[in-house]
Structure formats: structure tokens, C-alpha cells
Amino acid sequence: MPDQQEEKPKLPLTSMLALVAVVSGLLVSQIPLKTSRPIGKEADNLVLVGDDRVQSRLWQDPFEAVDDHLVKERQQAKENNVSHEGHHALEDLAHVIHRLAPENPSFLILPVMTDGNPYSKGVETRLRHRYALVSALGASEYLPEASQYVRFFRWKRQPCVKSSCAPLIVPVEWYKPKPSLGPMAPPVLILWLKGQDFSEKPLAGLTQLIKDLKKNFNQVEHQFRILGPRGSGGLSAMVKEADQFPDDYEILHNVEIFSSWATADDIFLIGDPPGESRILESQQPIIESVRSLPLAPGKVEKIFNKAHIPFYRTIGTDTMLAEQLVKELSLRNVNLTESCSDSQCPHHVALISEWDSLYGRVLPRTFVAVAQNQGSGKPSPQLDDHINTLRRDIWPTWAHHFSYLGGLDGELPPKDSDKGGKASSSKDKGGDNTSRLSRGLELPEGRGQLDYIRRLVKTLQDAEANIPGGFKAIGVLGSDVYDKLLILQAVRNSFPQAIFFTTDLDAQLIHPQQWSWTRNLVIASHFGLELRRHLQEPIPPFRDSYQTAFFFTVLQALKAKDKRKVITDVPPRVYEIGRHGPFDLSALDAPNAPPGLHPERTDLDPDTGHPSSMSVFTLLTIAGACALIFLCFMLLSSQVWTAFIGLVTSWSFWLTTVIAIAMAIGLDLWAMSDGAEGEPFVVTEGISVWPTQALRLLAFLLSGGFFIYAGWSLRNNEIQLRDKFPLPELSKDCPQGPWYSRFIGIHGWCPEVAKPRTIQQLWLDYMRLGRWDNRWLRYFLQSLLYLLFGGLLMLYFGPPHTPCRGPACFSINTMFLIFSVLGMVLLIFFVVDATRLCRRLIKHLVVGSIQWPKEFLEHEARKRGVDRTCVHEWLCIDFIAERTAVIGHLIYYPFVIVFLMAVARHPYFDHWDLPVGLAILIFLNIAYAFGNGVALRRSAEQARRVSLDQLNARLLPLNDQVPVEKESKRHIERAIEAIKHNRKGAFMPLAAHPIVGAIALPSGGYGFILLAEYLSTAF
């Protein structure tokens, strides 16, 4: 008998895939940047007492540099027994400035009101503000006096607000214009002011400062343009000052104020703080007077105009952000503008914010008010009424508000005794809560508030338990990005189906270390991290949106009044955090938006604003690559070439191709019908469902292809079996029996031991049950029951989350999901049905009394060189091996589809989740197909054991001393040896069996290699 050798793969696929994995890892990984700059051990340089120059890089915090300078100055004054008091007066600075600009005594003075708090957030804010200011000056063709130092002076505010007021430290910088700006371009003097020093009466403080500056710089009339206030609280104080005392600030009449940070809506800037139940009587006249003003321009601008103070708000309000968020959630099927009763609201939203800041108190109320105002953030009496209701803490049932205290990590300002100037955090005197986050749960002690976050998550979960469908969206609306990251880290994994959103784009949110909880985060932001290249070239993207807004504001403030028109009302942008940074989801610039401000979306056509179609070059490239791959397969196998010739000469192939191309064009147009408000067409960003839909479409097409290929394989195998064994062909008019019996035909086909049957009768029964119409009736009913069970699971555990954007995306997702699931389920039950039918055939061969034709037995006995009595079992095993060689490989097909469907929901592509109900269905799919594959192998092995037992039973009474019995014994032993070493079909070794490769396929790696090796030997 010829040896049965296992098929070897034609390609070294294992080595090739391993090499691809290694090379991919090297290409994708990023290496952290490390400097080679040597750090000097003697960091303290010589400081001259009384010198107003402070060593500082252009990116350094000016207040930190001045503080370090003053510490060293005091130390050296003490060592040299020299007084350090009386230096750094405003008069001293005036002499220096006059010396620096003798030819052009008139210059532009820019007071910059920055964050003055001593926490790490304040330090980082000042670093960002200075970087943006220096960048804007450079982009406007200004050069610093020196890039290694700044100057400063002490300013004692009069009248002093407190009983004992220390002079304020004011760092200053001097910039001179390049010759290209012309002789009329004024130099620029930057004054750095801490916003907290002007928090009570900012206009009064600025008035006094400008008076003192004019007193010392009294040669000519200088230009003043204030960049501030720092936040909404400062602007609110300015508004109330300007409204109550409009005639007290005559010196500010020609002083322009540019606000790029205050985003609170006008009603919050004028009225009482959120949460109070009534409006204070002292504020009632202000509010009534403002409500009587026209809606455009803004009410705040009207108050400043009344006081004759030029005021420009270069950043939008929180209502504009809220409008964009409500609209974005509506595109994602969370429509908050629908009116609903208290018990029937389909969408519930959780809002988490800090309550110890005006921003944290205002933003959640603004968001809910805009949603109640039909998603409109335009100023109107209706919006004001909604806001006033929320200011009394009357919330709609769909909005769930939760709060926390800012500074969750417990970080405090550095003490004078702290070395290195590092901030004191929760690990000092009170337990290292931050480090415990990585070692275990946080203890409820110390300054850190991480344990409060854990209980906040539990509170959210308890609230969600009482909400049908749970939270559809969760907003993290704080002002501190570090607090946002901690909350996202704690909450994100507990609510996998919720859409998380926030405001104000920050580079901290897109850092790879934060991807686990920030990816797919929706962000509404007034600006991105960069402007269009003609405005920002060659400056790299900034760290946050406020830095970009400040940069843009400085660019406008530096322009002469007669050469500029201040751009206000910039529409906000919407971003989603992807793998390569924030992806802009905003449409093209609105009609009232300044043109050419934000970078263009790369996936949109700049002329139409619709998603860009693939170019002809891209289509030709894809077609060429597919043709090259197909050519390689044809070179590897002649069967591929034969199949290709058969396809191209068939009219049905070209008809199918035309229909497929038409459907592809139609789907493409359908997908693009949402325009810029639809799902973006990207692959590797992890924010688009289109790769998932492509895989689902592939799964559906493969299901159909597997059906066709499986039918062809079964028919081809039947022809081969008829050529090898005496089997008849099933006639078309074969009786089918009652229609109801065809649903359960396999269960009624049982072997009868007492009734002998021929192999021809058995084969006809098998073929009758295996007809396509009978198969369809059986597994269609099974599929229907399975889908009903799956629907009940989804109803009980909740449906999976669909991260679509736009109506077309949801419709296409539903259509592709239905078709792919139907294809997968029908294919699974088709394979299971073919396997069960083959198992029942094996059972007939083992248990029943099957008779082979005598002539065929004698022919096979002569061919195999054995006695006729030994051929029956041998033929049965060969017959089982031949049939299961085809049936066994069918198990790969449902596993390939299940694998594709599971990969399609991988979070790599988008915010896909895996709920319990879906996980149960995937497990049942795998278990059902795998169980039937195992049962087929067991049935085949049982048939082999029965055949071997029968042959061994005949072998035992034979005697080697009798020549006839010795010859019979030799024949039987040869048949036993052939049956034992049969390695075909269901009898192949377990390591090479399709069951092992199929069960390993969903786990990737080894299973994928097994599948690739199988495909490489399939032709």
C-alpha cells in the first residue's frame, strides 16, 4: 500500500509571518526622546544686587525666574552685607526703556494677565502663555531684547487693598520690530501680571497701573492693549465694575482689552453664581438693564461700550461649546433635544464637574440649558430662562450632575524648604495616595482625593442601575486637565458603552500613556492645537486650545488699529481622540466664521465639504496590487489559472462584477450622504466604523463564497467517491417524504441492526438528506431559533454599543450587521448540518449491517492483496476518510467568519465594546461548531475501533502452524495496520486536524498560521 504522506505547505509561512511581526514592531514603536546636553553641577550663577535683568529662557515661567533671582539676590546681599531694598522700581525700568528706544520713544505696552496660582497647573499655564506670546511676536516679526533674560520691577498698588501690601512683582520683556516692518512699527513692552492680584477690582487696578506707567513714560502717548482677564471670574468682576461705575475709568477709554480665556456666558458673568436660589437685590438692576439690551453684539460688549472701553472677546462662550456637544451627541444617536416625560427619557447623561470654580459650576448648567433650548446656544430669553432655572439647581430627569473638588491628586505649592522647587503632593504628611494607585486601592486618608473618585464611580454605577439603558453619555467638564485624566482613568472602563465627552483640547489628552482612557473622547474646543500654516508656520502645534487662542489674540493685538479687524465669534471645533492625535470632525468654516483660520480636514473636499472620493491613481494602485497578488497565486497553482479562465469566459462572472461595482458606488454615495457630519473615512485612527463595515462586508461575501465552494467541494467529493466506490447517483425524482419530516430528517435516519442494507441504499438515503432543499429546511429553522435566542440575550443584557456618527452610518451599520450575521449563522448551521449528517452516515457504517457488492469486494481484495473477508472494514474506514476529508475542512469556514466578525468589533478600529450577551453568542458559535467537529472525529475514531475490534476478533482463533490460517492472519494484520495508519480526513493527527487550527484561529497568532498553511495547500 502506498504511504500516506501529510501535505506540506508550499511557502514558509511561519517564518514569513514572524519576520513581518518583528519588522512591524520596529516600525510602529516610538523611542522616547533624550537629551545629551550636559547639566552643570554649579547651577547658581552670580547675581548682581540691584540688576533688573533676570536669567530666563524664552520658554521659562517669568515669575519663577524672578523669584529665583530674588532669592539669590537676598543671599548675596546678606553675604556681602549689602541692602537689597529699594531696587527694581518702576522709575529704574523707565530709564532702561528710554535707553533702549531713543529713536522711537512711543511704543506698544501689552499687560498680560496670566494665571498666578502656585500649583503645578498655574506654572504650566504660565509656560504655555509665554510660549504662545513669544511665538506670536516672532510670527509678527518682532525680536526680543535678549533671549537669555527678562527684566522686572516692583509695583506698589495704590490704594492698598490690604492693611499690609507687599509690592507686586511685574516681569517685563522688551521686543523690537524687524526692519521689514518699517520705521513706524512701535517696539513692544510686555508686562506680566498675575490675574489673582487683580481679582477684586481688576479695572481699578489696571487704571492705577496705567496711570503709573504714563507718569514714568511721559514723553509721548503710548498705546495700551490688555490681554486678559485670565478667566471668567475676572471678566465678571470687570463687567460689574464697568456697569456700576462707567465714568470712573476715563483713562481706559483708548485702552483695548482682548479676552481669550473667559468663556462663561453673559448671564453668568452678570448674575448671581450658579446654585443660589435667588438673585441678589444689588445685582437685580444690573441684570434688568442688561436684559433690555439688544442680543447682538453681546450683552457684555454693550456694558463695555457704555463705559467707552474697547473690549474684544476673541474666544467663544460656553454656550457655543455646549451647542456643538449637543449636536455631536445627536449625530451619535443621543438626541437630548427630544421632549420626554420624567419616566420615559430614552437618553440619560451624567455630568461630572468641579464645584469649587466658576467654570465647573457654569458649564454643566450651560450644557443642559442648551439641550433644553432645542440645541441652540444663541442668546435668547428662552435660553436665559433655562439657565436661571438650572442656577436654582432644578435639573431635568435625564441630566445627572456629580461634582468633586479640584486638585484630586492632592498636589500643593512648594514650600520654601523644599529642594528643587518641586510641588508638595499628597505623599507628604498624609499618605502617598498617588503611588498607591499602582499598588492597590487608595486609603481614605491624606490630602489626595483618589479614594473619593472610587466612591464616585460606585455612585455613578448605583445611579445607572436605576436607569433603563444606562448612561448614554458621560461628560467630564472640569477645568483642570489632570483632574480630567484621573476621572477618565477611574470611570472609563466601568461604562464601556457610554460616549465620553469634554471641553478644551489639551495635548495631555492625546499622550500615548493616556490612550487607554482618552481614546475616542469627544472634545468641543474653541480652537485646536494649531492654526492654518500661513498663520503659524514654522511654529509647531501648541499644548492646548487656550494657548492657540492666546497666540491668535496676540497676533491681532499686535496689528495697528487701522490695519486690522478684530476677529471674534470664532465657531468652536469638535475633535475625537485618535491614535495619531485629535481628529477634527468639524465641518468646513461656517458662513460667519473667519476663512482660512483652522487647518483643513484632510478627509474632506475643500470645495464641497463632503468626504473626498478616492482618486483615479489610488484606484489604479489598488487594482494593480490585487492583480499582482492574483498573478502570484496563479504562478503557485495551476488550478487558480484554470479557475480564472473559467471565470473570465463566463457571462455570469461579468454580470456579477458589474452588479458589485454598482453596489460599491451606491454604498459609497450613501456613506458620503451625511457629508462632514458623517463618519470620517479613516482606517488607522481608531475613530471610524468603516473598517468594521468593510470586514463585515468581507465576512458576508466570504460566507457566500464558502457556501459555493463547500457545495462544489461536496459535489466533487461525491463524484470521486462514485468513481472509487460502487455508489449510485441520486435521481432528481427521488421521493422526499412528507414536508414536515424534512425538518428533522437526520433524527429519523437511524441504523437498523437486524435489517441488512446495501451500501447503495445507504448512499441514496444520505444523498437524499443532503440535497440542498432538505438542508435549507433544516438549518433555516435552526438559524431562526438561534436568532430568536440571540435577540432574547440582547434584550436581557442590552444591545452592543454602536459608535456611529450620522444617520447614513447607522443605516449602513444595521444593514451590514444583518447581512453578515445572517451569513455567519447560516454558514455555521450548514457546516454543523453537514457534519451531523456525516456522523449519522458513519454510525450506519459502524452499527448497521451494511453489505458491499461481492464483485467489488473481490476486486478490492485483489487490488489490496488481501482476502475478501478483510476488505469490508478496510473499505468502511477508507470511505469514512475520503468523505471526512472534505467535511472536516468545512469547520474552518465558520471559524473564519466568527474570527472576522470578532476582529471587526476590535477597539483598534473604533469604540466597540463586548457586552455579556454578545460574548455568550460568540462563545456558543465557537463551541457549537467546535463540538460538532470533535463529535465527527470521535465518530470516525469509534468506527476505527469497531473495525479493529472486528478484525482482532477474527485474528485471535487463527493458528500460525496452519498454512491457510497463517495466510489469513497475514491478510488481517495488513488490514489492521492500514486502518491504524490511516491519516486522512478525520483520522489525521490531532495537531494537524482542522479542529485545532479552527479553535486557535480566533486567538490569532498560531491559529492564523495554521489557516494560512491550510490555504497554501488548498490548491
HSE-CB of 217 using CA atoms within 13 angstroms = 26
Average confidence (pLDDT) over 943-964:
84
Q: How confident is the model at residue 246 (pLDDT cuts 50, 70, 90)?
A: confident
Predicted confidence band of residue 443 (pLDDT cuts 50, 70, 90): confident
DSSP 750-807: ---SSS-EEHHHHHHHHHHHTSHHHHHHHHHHHHHHHHHHHHHHHHHH-PPP----SH
Q: Which residues pair with 412 in a beta bridge?
A: 424
Say which residue the cell 487550527 belongs to: 997
pLDDT of 220 reads 59
495: pLDDT confidence band, cut at 50, 70 and 90? very high
Stretch 856-882: mean pLDDT: 87
- In 140-222, where does DSSP find H-type helix? 202-216
Out of 110-124, 208-222, 322-336, pick the least confident. Answer: 208-222
pLDDT of residue 166: 80
A 10 A CB-CB count for 281 gives 7
Residue 3 pLDDT more than 50?
no
Give pLDDT, residue 288.
40
What is the pLDDT at residue 10?
42
When the pLDDT of each residue in the chain is averaged and rounded to a whole number, the result is 80
Residue 451 predicted with pLDDT over 80 = yes
pLDDT number for residue 537 = 79
DSSP letter for 52, please: -
> Alpha-carbon distance 440 to 547, whole Å?
36
Asked whether the predicted pLDDT for residue 775 surpasses 60, the reply is yes
Q: Which residue from 644, 12, 570, 62 is spatially nearest to 317, judged by alpha carbons?
A: 570
C-alpha cell at 350: 451624567
The Cα–Cα gap between 227 and 109 comes to 10
Residue 321, number of CB atoms within 10 A of its CB: 27
Helix (H) or strand (E) holding 445: none
**Would you state the pLDDT for residue 737?**
54
Query: Quick check: 863 pLDDT over 80?
Result: yes
Q: How far apart are CA 122 and CA 125, in angstroms?
A: 5
Q: Cis (ω within 30 of 0) for the bond into 159?
A: yes
What local confidence, expressed as pLDDT, does residue 850 receive?
A: 83
H/E element holding 825?
helix 807-847
pLDDT at 325: 95
Q: How many CB atoms lie within 10 A of CB 535?
A: 17
Q: What is the DSSP string of 881-916?
A: HHHHHHHGGGGHHHHHHHHHHHHHT-TTTSS----H
Cell 491519516 belongs to 983
Question: What is the rounded CA–CA span in Å between residue 852 and residue 757?
Answer: 9
How would you write 468-497 as a 3-class SS string? CCCEEEEEECCCCHHHHHHHHHHHHHHCCC
Contact by Cβ (8 Å): 627, 619: no
Please choose, from the candidates 223, 1017, 231, the residue with its C-alpha nearest in 3D space to the C-alpha of residue 636: 1017
pLDDT tens digits for range 686-726? 898 988 988 898 899 889 888 888 888 899 999 999 999 98
Q: How confident is the model over 44-69, as a mean pLDDT?
A: 76
Band of residue 149 on the pLDDT scale cut at 50, 70, 90: confident
Closest listed residue to residue 70, CA positions, set 43, 103, 47: 47
**541/506 Cα distance (integer angstroms):** 11
Q: How far apart are CA 687 and CA 520, in angstroms?
A: 6
Q: How far apart are CA 348 and CA 358, in angstroms?
A: 25
Determine the Cα–Cα distance for residues 366 and 321; give it in Å rounded to an integer: 9
Read off the DSSP letter of residue 257. Answer: E
In percent, the amount of the chain with pLDDT more than 90 equals 23
Element (H, E) at 401: strand 399-404
| pLDDT value at 637 more than 80 | no
Measure CA of the first residue to CA of the last residue in the chain; give whole Å: 25
Among 256, 254, 110, 103, residue whose Cα is nearest residue 184: 103
Buried b (16+ CB within 10 A) or exposed e, 179-213: eeeeeebbbbbbbbbbbbbbbebbbbbbbbbbebb
Give yes or no for residue 168 having a pLDDT over 50: yes
Cell 454605577, located at residue: 461
Query: Residue 344: what are its φ and ψ, rounded to 5°?
Result: -130, 25
Q: What are phi and psi of 224, to 5 degrees?
A: -120, 130
41 pLDDT tier (thresholds 50, 70, 90): very low
Instruction: Please report how the helices 854-864 and 963-980 are oriented relative to each other, as an axis angle in degrees rounded to 10.
Output: 90
- Transcribe 76-102 into DSSP letters: HHHHTT---TT-SBHHHHHHHHHHH-S
Is residue 596 within 8 Å of 174, Cβ to Cβ?
A: no
Picking from 435, 547, 423, the residue whose alpha carbon sits closest to that of residue 112 is 547
The per-residue pLDDT for 469 is: 83
CB atoms within 10 A of CB 660: 11
> What is the C-alpha separation between 341 and 516, in angstroms, rounded?
36
The answer on pLDDT for 536 being more than 90 is no
Q: Which residues contact 866 (CB under 8 A, 6 or more apart)?
A: 874, 971, 972, 974, 975
Pairing outcome for strands 399-404 and 471-476: unpaired
For the record, the C-alpha cell of 1017 comes out as 495547500
Top pLDDT among 297 and 169 is at: 169
Q: Calculate mean pLDDT across residues 302-318.
A: 89
pLDDT, mean of residues 642-648: 70
Residue 944 scores a pLDDT above 60 = yes
Q: Which helix (H) or strand (E) holds 193?
A: strand 188-194
pLDDT in tens, 460-475: 999 998 888 889 999 9
Is the predicted pLDDT of residue 438 greater than 60, yes or no?
Answer: no
Residue 782: pLDDT above 70? yes
Torsions phi, psi for 94 (to 5 deg): -60, -40
Confidence category of residue 270, pLDDT binned at 50, 70, 90 = confident
Mean pLDDT of 640-659: 72
Q: Are 344 and 396 in contact (CB under 8 A)?
A: no
The predicted structure's pLDDT at residue 748 = 62
Provide the residue type at 344 as one letter. Answer: Q
Q: Which of 391-405, 528-542, 923-937 has the lowest mean pLDDT?
A: 923-937
Residues 6+ apart with CB under 8 A from 556: 258, 312, 314, 564, 566, 567
Report pLDDT for 284: 42
Please state the rounded mean pLDDT for residues 579-599: 77
Exposure of 343 by Cβ count < 10 A (0-12 exposed, 13-18 middle, 19+ buried)? exposed
pLDDT of residue 5: 42
Task: Indicate the residue type of 355.
Answer: W
Percent of the chain with pLDDT over 70: 78
- Of 836-850, 943-957, 997-1011, give the lowest mean pLDDT range: 997-1011
Interatomic CA distance for residues 679 and 800, integer angstroms: 18
* Contacts of residue 917, Cβ cutoff 8 Å, sequence gap at least 6: 790, 793, 794, 796, 797, 798, 799, 800
CA distance 625 to 924: 38
225 and 188 in contact (C-beta within 8 Å)?
no
Instruction: Please give the grid coordinates belonging to residue 878.
Output: 477508507
| DSSP state, residue 217 | S
Cell readout for 786 is 438561534
Whether 174 and 97 have beta carbons less than 8 Å apart is answered as yes
Residue 598, C-alpha cell as written in the block:
483652522
Cβ proximity of 379 and 295 under 8 Å: yes
What is the average pLDDT across 508-519? 91
Residues 6+ apart with CB under 8 A from 228: 111, 112, 113, 114, 193, 195, 202, 234, 257, 258, 259, 261
Of residues 8 and 914, more confidently modeled = 914
What's the pLDDT score for residue 915?
86
Instruction: Please report which confidence band the pLDDT of residue 1010 belongs to, taking 50, 70 and 90 as the band edges.
Output: very low
Residue 312: strand, helix, or coil: strand
